[in-house]
Each structure stands twice: as structure tokens, then as C-alpha cells.
Amino acid sequence: MAEERPATGTQFPASAESQKPRLKRAPEFPILEKKNWLIHLHYIRKDYEGCKAVIKEQLQETQGLCEYAIYVQALIFRLEGNIQESLELFQTCAVLSPQCADNLKQVARSLFLLGKHKAATEVYNEAAKLNQKDWEICHNLGVCYFYLKQFNKAQDQLHHALHLNRHDLTYIMLGKIHLLTGDLDKAIEIYKKAVEFSPENTELLTTLGLLYLQLGFYQKAFEHLGNALTYDPTNYKAILAAGSMMQTHGDFDVALTKYRVVACAVPESPPLWNNIGMCFFGKKKYVAAISCLKRANYLAPFDWKILYNLGLVHLTMQQYASAFYFLRAAINFQPKMGELYMLLAVALTNLEDTENAKRAYAEAVRLDKCNPLVNLNYAVLLYNQGEKRDSLAQYQEMEKKVSLLKDSSSLEFDSEMVEMAQKLGAALQVGEALVWTKPVKDPKSKHRTTTSKAASFQQPLGSNQALGQAMSSAATYRKIPSGPGSTEFQTR
């Protein structure tokens, strides 16, 4: 009998796959965060209604403890204009995560939008302690200090922001502060650095061009305005400024062509209609000039430059009562400008109110220490009233001003002003040549646009003439993008 052998089974090596440990299941997100991705998706798609529905569901499930859902809800409230509600929600986020600088930044931003600038600075300072290298905190702190009129602190914060990270907005705000403090040279330096950093920013190019235009550097102004129009041919601010430059140099037809383009973009711009009116004034179309200036005055009733121009045009048309009305209104808004009082005196002289004309001239002489035309007109009035001693005193004061202007700069004088000074000098027996040399332009002509004669001479020396120059509110408005520090500035 055969011996039975135990069956031996063949054993195979274990497969490599069975030796690998099984992968663990991915951990589930905590319940507080599981729908954050969906909230984010709806928000970036601007589906705010769907986003709010998911947020509501998430907050119900988490009993109001989901920080991200509250944060996005606050952002939506802010976009809808509910600033106070957004502030309360951001404060809730700050309570849930007190060490998060972003939450504090949003709280400060909401306070800023509510006009609570001092409270906003306190919150921004707390945020800065948590994150000292955030340029946005420094920038916004600078803007808050700007609105609190603490310009030194604002400059320090803005410079620190530029040290951390250079941005166009920071340069714009820093330049704005220098403009408000009257330091044009530093403002130009800041804008030059900004243009070097961002050479295609048309807003920076236009603003720098306007500053050069205001200082009378027409070549540099034209260069920067031309660059702005190269990058954006429809930039109405640069077009308006370029038209103003052409108007300043007497090229009224080309300037009007430029203004037609601007009128399509901003038909309700007061500076535009002011400049159009002064173009017609330069072309001696006085009725059209008054119509345009009246429209500008309707759009900006508190702009003294427009009132000045209306008074000047009415003087030219010998409508002295109307001229008095507009010049008096301009003085109410700009009481420190001597030339306004001089033109008012011219109107009063022609209205035969000599006593008030003398008072206006006296105030003009007190306020204006540079313009010899004020003293010349005053001397003519006094001479015509038989007060030769006082007339001589004003004439000699005029000579001093002319000598100072000739020594300090290469300014030239209007031919009719020179002629009248020579006639008055001869009448007062103080000579005819005096300090006069070349008859050309008025000392202030580089800041104005056209020349007008407000009245003709009827007496032996004539009634007082107004060689006031037409003022052009040349360029226009520059707005800082919405956000901290939205302001505007205007040059002429």
C-alpha cells in the first residue's frame, strides 16, 4: 500500500501591491471651513446673491463662527454701500482672529469710508504692529494723516510706503501734499520720479505737464502732455491743457479745435467753457464769449476766475454796471487779489463813482506789491481829479516796481502801458523816457491768455484803462483713484 504523502501546496510570493500600505483617506475639512471654496467661487464671479445664500447656510451650520463667510459678507455689504454693517462684521472677524492684520486693515478701511479718520489711524497703527512690512498700511496711514491735516506725519508714512514698495498711488498722494503746502519744486520732483517708475501712466504725465504749464515752462509742459496723448489720444485732461497752451500763445482757432474734442467727453466742464469763452474774447467775438462764460458760471457759480473773466469782457464792451456786478462777486471769493480791485476801480470810474474808485485803488495798491499797472491807473485817476501830488507819488511807486521787475527778470511791458506812462510822466513834468525800454507785454502775461483794453481815453490823459489779462482756468481736474485720499486739484 502506497504511503500517503501529505499534500504540499505550492506557495507563491506575495504580490508587490499587497505589500504596499493602503493610502489613508484624505481628512475632511473642518465643518467651519467646508464651503469656503464655494463662497469664494461665487464672490469672484460677482454672483453676490448666490454668494449670500451660501454664506447664510454656512453661518447657520457653524452658529456664526465661520470667519471667512463673515469676511466675504462684509465685503459684499461694503460694495452695496452698507458701510456701517460691513464695519460691524469686520470687527467680528477681528474678534475671531485678533492676530490677523488683514481684519484690522478692513476695519480701518470702513472707518475711513465713514469719515472717522482719527479712529482709522489708531486701527492702522495696531495693524502695523502685526505686519511692519505692509506698504498698504503705511500708504493708508499717510492718507488718513493727510485728511487730519498732519502733513509731516503723512509724508513720513508715504515715504516709508515707497521704501517698502513703489506704487503710483503713493507718488500721487505725496505730490498732492507738496502742492497743498505750496512746495511746487518738491511736487515736480516727486512726479518726475513717479513718471520714471511708471512712464506710461497718463495721469502722472498730465499732472506733471500741468505743473510745468503753471510755472510757465511751456516746452516741458508740451513734451509731457504730448506723451500723455501718445499713450491715450482721448485723454481729455491732456487735450484741454494742450489747448490752453495754444490759447496762451494766441492760437485761438487751433485751441478751439482741441476744445471741440473735449466737449464730446466732458460737455459740462466749467474750465472748458471758460477757456472757450476766452478764445472768443481773444477773437473779439464778445457776445459769444459772454454766452460761454455764462454757461461756465452756471456750472461753477463759485469759481472766481470765471467771474473775473465775465467782468473783464463786460468792461471791454463798456457795460460797466455788469462788470461791477461780476467783479464784486469775484472779490467775495478772492479778496486778496489786487488786480480785481483795480478792475473794480475802472468800472467805478466809468460809473462816475470817484470816491469808491479811489478806495478800490487804495486796496489794490495795498494788496499788489508787484504790478506797476495798478499804480499807473491810480495815478491817472488822481491826475484827472487834480491831485497832482498824490498822482506823482503813485507814479514814482510805479517806477520802483518797474525797476525791480527789470532787475529780477527779463519781463517786457505792454506798448500801451508804456505810452500812457510816458504821457503821464510828461504831464507831471518828470520826463518821458524814464525806466521804460522795449514796449511789449504786460508783466503777468505768462500766466494769462489774452490782452484787452477795458476803456478808451476820453479826457486829456484818458480815463483809467484796464490792461488786465484774461485768465484761463487751463487745465483741469486730476482725481486720485477711489480709495483712501480721493481729492482733486486745479491749475490755471
d(CA 73, CA 307): 50
- How high is the pLDDT of residue 480? 30
- How high is the pLDDT of residue 370? 84
SS3 414: strand
Instruction: Classify burial at 225, counting beta carbons within 10 Å of its beta carbon; exposed 0-12, middle 13-18, buried 19 or more.
Output: buried
- How high is the pLDDT of residue 25? 64
- How high is the pLDDT of residue 292? 94
pLDDT tens string 39-61: 889 889 988 899 889 888 888 88
Instruction: Classify burial at 114, counting beta carbons within 10 Å of its beta carbon; exposed 0-12, middle 13-18, buried 19 or more.
Output: middle
C-alpha cell at 214: 503753471
d(CA 125, CA 132): 10
DSSP string, 66-127: -HHHHHHHHHHHHHTT-HHHHHHHHHHHHHH-TT-HHHHHHHHHHHHHTT-HHHHHHHHHHH
DSSP assignment letter at 153: H
d(CA 452, CA 446): 15
Is the torsion defined by CA of 155, 221, 304, 381 positive or negative? positive
What is the DSSP pairing of strand 439-440 with strand 413-414? parallel
- How high is the pLDDT of residue 78? 92
Residue type, 468: G
d(CA 325, CA 349): 14
How many CB atoms lie under 10 A from the CB of residue 129? Answer: 10
pTM: 0.68
Residue ranges in the chain whose pLDDT is less than 70:
1-33, 408-412, 430-492
pLDDT tens string 373-428: 888 888 888 888 888 888 888 888 888 888 887 776 656 677 777 888 888 888 87
